[in-house]
């Protein structure tokens, strides 16, 4: 019953801001519900709720139910998880003293829209509180009132990181199925860490729309896999996974967005960055850093497209951007205000491609800087970008060829170590800043600048997507 009420309130909340009590005008209330559903149908050009569901809403009104819009729920509960606490059967998760001790103890049957689960990160700065069970999310919320799972901000429970440390036979560290509108993460970069499972995060239901924020995912087989549904990722660090992010969802109703994220590889012999495969979903990466150390930075296969805005693409071994479209007028590559940087040769002293685009398709690259690498693409651009030290079909990017005036990048050697580019004590971490002379290219000019951004934990209805429209 509560799930039905939440679904109705999510779609036509103005009809639910009523309290049904004895003596109410039943006919007027029934009429109001029908009017709201009909208005929704007209606005969307289809009937989302069939007659049976409308009749159910009316019957609930006649039965004297209380319908409350999700935005007005005042009885939301907070539950607690802490591996410091000794487990006991009587623990109900309602206080730190009675906290659930690991993720598999969470009682999802009592979760409702608007509820919060706080995860203990310990009281030691720089330390980690370890959890050995995956977070399998079995209950969600609504767009107005998502279920929130976050690393605690309370004193004594927020100094370190909450680390979900797993083995490869665990399917996923964060597993989303039958869990619509869930927010997971922390208030600052790397507050939650996922390590060791097959997938760091797995979205595998068409009705899943999770938001992940301030999570580090590393040393899995695949960092993030969006198999179905949609997802929003913000301030994520995904690295040292053979595949870091894989988007396969065919849900074209909403965007899959990664905003202000860092995807890189430091230690693995082979690792791909952001892979879009077999999908018509609108998948976008925005104001992020992709690289260094990846084989391919952004890669869309022959059935897919890739969208990138305001991002910095760093020195992939094979290609910073690769598009495998093989059919006439297939899906698109869209790049707006990005910067691609490559050393003259890769670490193996072989040529590598800034752009590797195959087949006939639609592409749009504008306001971008391409520094170094080979352009493998057909045709010529009608939009001028800035390029320097490129080879191949340079006309593809336009006719403007000049030094963008980056700081301290000309002396980066071909065999630059990933640690020099991505470690805080590396030679080029602070000095290799990609500020051009004029206002073109990425809005994120270095890894240090990206990690200097920090936004508080936000709900799914408070997302910031940047300034790019496609």
Cβ-contact 265, 423 below 8 angstroms: no
Same-domain status, 63 and 81:
no
Same-domain status, 300 and 441:
yes
Cβ-contact 272, 300 below 8 angstroms: no
Q: Which contacts qualify for 54-57: CB closer than 8 Å, 24 or more apart?
A: 56/4, 57/8, 57/15, 57/33
Residue 139 neighbours by CB under 8 Å, 6+ apart = 108, 109, 111, 112, 147, 178, 179
Length of the chain: 470
Cis-peptide, bond into residue 292, ω within 30° of zero: yes
Same-domain status, 317 and 402:
yes
Residue 294 neighbours by CB under 8 Å, 6+ apart = 244, 263, 264, 265, 271, 272, 273, 316, 317
Residue that finishes a domain, picked among 213, 235, 257: 235
Same-domain status, 264 and 341:
yes
What does DSSP assign to residue 86? Answer: P
C-alpha distances (whole Å) from 260 to each of 64, 274, 309, 340, 387 are 48, 14, 10, 16, 24
Same-domain status, 253 and 393:
yes
The answer to whether residue 465 sits within a structural domain is no
Same-domain status, 216 and 307:
no
User: Angle of helix 2-11 relative to helix 51-62, nearest 10 degrees?
Assistant: 110
Tell whether the torsion through CA atoms of 185, 190, 193 and 198 is positive or negative.
positive
Residue that finishes a domain, picked among 22, 45, 72: 72
pLDDT value at residue 382 = 58
The answer to whether residue 468 sits within a structural domain is no
pLDDT value at residue 388 = 92
The answer to whether residue 32 sits within a structural domain is yes
Same-domain status, 386 and 398:
yes
Closest CA to 290 of 309, 330, 262: 262
Same-domain status, 83 and 145:
yes
The answer to whether residue 66 sits within a structural domain is yes
pLDDT value at residue 432 = 66
Same-domain status, 259 and 379:
yes
Same-domain status, 106 and 55:
no
The answer to whether residue 463 sits within a structural domain is no
Q: Which residues does the chain have with pLDDT short of 50?
A: 1-27, 29-30, 33-34, 36-72, 459-470
For residue 125 the two structure tokens come to 């700065």
The answer to whether residue 344 sits within a structural domain is yes
Q: How far apart are CA 247 and CA 250, in angstroms?
A: 9
Residue 183 neighbours by CB under 8 Å, 6+ apart = 146, 147, 148, 149, 150, 210, 211, 213, 457, 458, 459, 460
Same-domain status, 286 and 398:
yes
Domain assignment of residue 134, given as a range: 76-235
pLDDT value at residue 200 = 98
The answer to whether residue 459 sits within a structural domain is no
What DSSP assignment string belongs to 153-165?
-STTSSSSEEEEE
pLDDT value at residue 431 = 62
Same-domain status, 44 and 122:
no
The answer to whether residue 201 sits within a structural domain is yes
Q: How far apart are CA 208 and CA 256, in angstroms?
A: 12
- Over the stretch 418-445, which tens digit does the pLDDT of each residue have? 778 777 777 676 566 777 766 678 888 8
């Amino acid at each position: 019953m509560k799930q039905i009420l939440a679904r109705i309130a999510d779609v036509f909340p103005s009809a639910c801001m009523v309290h049904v009590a004895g003596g109410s005008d039943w006919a007027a209330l029934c009429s109001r519900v029908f009017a709201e559903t009909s208005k929704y149908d007209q606005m969307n050009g289809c009937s989302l709720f069939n007659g049976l569901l409308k009749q159910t809403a009316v019957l609930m009104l006649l039965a004297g139910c209380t319908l409350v819009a999700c935005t007005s729920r005042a009885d939301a509960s907070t539950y607690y998880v802490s591996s410091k606490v000794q487990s006991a059967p009587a623990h109900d998760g309602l206080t730190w003293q009675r906290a659930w001790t690991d993720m598999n103890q969470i009682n999802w049957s009592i979760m409702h829209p608007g509820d919060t689960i706080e995860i203990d990160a310990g009281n030691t700065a720089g330390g980690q509180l370890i959890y050995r069970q995956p977070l399998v999310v079995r209950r969600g919320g609504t767009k107005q009132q998502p279920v929130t799972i976050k690393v605690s901000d309370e004193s004594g429970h927020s100094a370190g990181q909450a680390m979900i440390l797993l083995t490869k036979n665990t399917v996923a560290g964060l597993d989303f199925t039958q869990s619509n509108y869930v927010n997971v993460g922390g208030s600052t970069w790397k507050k939650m860490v996922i390590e060791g499972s097959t997938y760091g995060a797995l979205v595998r239901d068409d009705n899943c729309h999770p938001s992940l924020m301030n999570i580090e995912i590393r040393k899995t087989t695949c960092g993030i896999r969006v198999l179905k549904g949609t997802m929003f990722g913000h301030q994520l660090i995904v690295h040292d996974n053979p595949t870091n992010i894989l988007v396969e969802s065919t849900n074209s109703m909403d965007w899959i967005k990664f905003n202000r994220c860092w995807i890189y590889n430091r230690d693995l012999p082979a690792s791909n960055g952001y892979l879009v495969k077999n999908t018509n979903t609108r998948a976008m990466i925005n104001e992020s850093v992709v690289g260094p150390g990846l084989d391919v930075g952004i890669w869309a296969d022959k059935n897919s497209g890739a969208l990138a805005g305001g991002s910095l693409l760093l020195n992939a071994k094979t290609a910073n951007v690769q598009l495998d479209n093989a059919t006439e007028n297939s899906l698109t590559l869209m790049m707006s205000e990005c910067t691609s940087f490559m050393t003259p040769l890769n670490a193996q002293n072989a040529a590598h491609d800034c752009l590797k685009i195959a087949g006939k398709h639609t592409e749009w690259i504008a306001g971008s800087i391409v520094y170094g690498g080979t352009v493998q693409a057909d045709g010529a651009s009608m939009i001028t970008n800035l390029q320097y030290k490129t080879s191949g079909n340079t006309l593809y990017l336009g006719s403007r060829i000049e030094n963008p005036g980056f700081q301290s990048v000309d002396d980066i050697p071909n065999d630059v170590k990933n640690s020099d580019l991505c470690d805080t004590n590396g030679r080029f971490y602070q000095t290799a800043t990609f500020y051009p002379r004029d206002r073109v290219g990425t809005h994120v000019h270095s890894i240090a600048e990206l990690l200097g951004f920090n936004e508080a934990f936000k709900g799914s209805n408070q997302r910031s997507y940047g300034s790019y429209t496609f």
